[in-house]
Every structure is written in C-alpha cells, then in structure tokens.
C-alpha cells in the first residue's frame, strides 16, 4: 500500500518560534544521560529567520504520549526516525526516497534545525516535520511512535572519554527495540542503520547490538556499501577528506529475524 512520506519536527510542549530559539531542549527524564553536546555552533541570520518563519509549518509537538499531528495526518502510515540529522541532508533524502512513509527528524541543535528548515523550504516535500528533543523523549513509550519500523543515526557524538554518554548504549537499544514494529518493512532500509567515521564507535555499536541478540546485517567501511538513499553530508565529506573511513552499520532486532 502506497503512503506519502512525512518528516516531522517535534518538541515536548507547544513552542512558538521565539520559544524555540530560547528554550532548553526538552527531555523525557533526567534519569537518561544527555547523548549530545550542548551549545554546538552559532545560528546564522538565515537560520534564525527560518526558525521564526518556517517552524510553524514544519514543527510538531508531543502532548502526553501522543504526537500532535495535523488533521491531514494518517495515523496508519509507517514511520522512519532520523536521529540527529545535522544540517538536514538525510531528512530531505529520506523524504524523497521513501514517499510511502512518514519521516520524523529528531535534532537538538538549533543551527542544524534552521539549516534543515531552509533545505525543506527549497523542496516540494510536504511530508517533512521535525522534533526538537532528546531522542529518549520519543522512544520511552511505544505510544508516541506506534508505527516506527526503521531509524537512521547519522554520525552520533563519539564521546571518546565518556562512553556512558554515547547514544548507542544498552538503554537506547532496549527502548528502540520496544518501539519498533514488525508490521512494516522496506528492503532498502533496515530497522536500525548507523553511519560513523569513528572506528571505535563502530565496534562499540557492533558489540552492544550483538550482545543484545540483534542480527548484524552490515558492518563495513567500504564506500560501495553506503546506502544509495544516504547522501554524503558536509560532515561526511570532511571526514573523507581527512582520510577517515565511514562505517555503515545495519541491525535487525531479535523479533524480526
């Protein structure tokens, strides 16, 4: 069954564009260690303007354990979650490729959100929205993402001196496994896919997922194995220019083996 892709920007409480610029990142629970670095980068004038003017069009909130979608939203549409989408390259690519799904972008840094809004405004995609929140605010309850069947994690912070801060850790793997549904699938995107230019992080992720009984579908830094839907972002190009190979990892949870 064909369904239009939608990518959604979310926050935990209704946010005006001014509040978006000034409020701290919503978090589901203080028991979760923050999986991102604070205050990364400065917003350009264009990004500030995008946050003010485009947020009402692309932003969406969480109310309790439910997403506040528009009346046009079809709750039966399968979801893909893009975690930490940076400048928004992957959001646009996912929205263009998987036009039968809803793509939800989750990011905490306003400069990246502003850049993504500008990218989306240049496209004809009407199915893209964004969440400004720690991802744990989205995956602590299956009710928030009831039709989630795939998630992409692009270049997560490696935290070389604080492994417990890494996004890929046992509580994340447990939470995402509880949220993923086996009712949907797509041959071109696995349940969990990760891109990283840090070999130690790649091995860390492989060890944790396999220890949790997930199936390793792919684990390689060979360029030919980069998913065809994943564009080379500005960050990835810098890594390649610095001769840092990019690892593409893919995993499936135990119940979908």
Asked if the 7-256 domain carries CATH number 3.40.50.150, the reply is yes
- pLDDT surpasses 90 at 176: yes
Nearest-angstrom CA–CA distance, 250 and 220: 9
Which is more confident, 223 or 207?
207
pLDDT cut 70: percent of the chain above it: 79
Q: Where are the domains of the chain?
A: 7-256
The pLDDT value recorded for residue 145 is: 87
* Average pLDDT score over the chain: 83
The pLDDT value recorded for residue 72 is: 58
The token pair at 240 is 């390649």
Which is more confident, 67 or 256?
67
Question: Residue 102's closest CA among 65, 149, 61?
Answer: 149
In this prediction, residue 4 has a pLDDT band, given cuts at 50, 70 and 90, of very low
Question: Residue 133's closest CA among 7, 8, 12, 6?
Answer: 12
Nearest-angstrom CA–CA distance, 236 and 124: 25
The pLDDT value recorded for residue 37 is: 54
Tell me if 162 sits within 8 A of 125, measured CB to CB: no
Exposed/middle/buried for residue 120 (C-beta within 10 Å: 0-12, 13-18, 19+)? buried
In this prediction, residue 19 has a pLDDT band, given cuts at 50, 70 and 90, of low
Overall average pLDDT of the 222-247 stretch: 91
Tens-place pLDDT, residues 114-131: 999 999 999 988 788 898
The pLDDT value recorded for residue 199 is: 94
Which is more confident, 63 or 199?
199
What is each CA distance from 156 to 13, 97, 135, 204, in whole angstroms? 25, 22, 12, 12
For residue 215, how far is the Cα from the chain centroid? Answer: 21
What is each CA distance from 66 to 10, 60, 121, 146, 235, in whole angstroms? 11, 11, 26, 9, 33
- pTM as predicted: 0.84
């Amino acid at each position: 069954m064909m369904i239009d892709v939608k990518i959604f920007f979310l926050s935990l409480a209704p946010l005006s564009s001014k509040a978006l610029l000034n409020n701290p990142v919503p978090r589901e629970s203080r028991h979760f260690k923050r999986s991102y670095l604070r205050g990364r980068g400065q917003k350009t004038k264009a990004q500030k303007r995008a946050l003010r003017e485009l947020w009402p069009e692309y932003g969406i909130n969480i109310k309790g354990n439910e997403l506040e979608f528009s009346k046009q939203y079809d709750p039966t549409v399968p979801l893909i979650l893009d975690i930490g989408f940076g400048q928004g390259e992957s959001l646009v690519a996912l929205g263009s490729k998987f036009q039968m799904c809803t793509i939800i972008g989750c990011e905490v840094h306003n400069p990246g959100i502003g850049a993504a809004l500008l990218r989306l405004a240049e496209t004809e995609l009407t199915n893209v929205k964004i969440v400004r929140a720690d991802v744990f605010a989205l995956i602590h309850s299956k009710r928030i993402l009831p039709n989630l069947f795939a998630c992409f994690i692009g270049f997560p912070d490696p935290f070389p001196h604080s492994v417990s801060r890494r996004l890929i850790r046992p509580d994340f793997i447990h939470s995402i496994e509880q949220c993923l549904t086996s009712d949907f699938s797509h041959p071109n995107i696995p349940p969990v896919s990760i891109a990283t230019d840090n070999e130690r992080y790649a091995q860390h992720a492989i060890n944790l997922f396999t220890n949790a009984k997930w199936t390793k579908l792919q684990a390689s830094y060979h360029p030919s194995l980069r998913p065809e839907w994943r564009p080379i972002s500005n960050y990835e190009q810098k890594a390649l220019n610095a001769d840092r190979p990019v690892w593409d990892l893919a995993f499936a949870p135990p119940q979908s083996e």
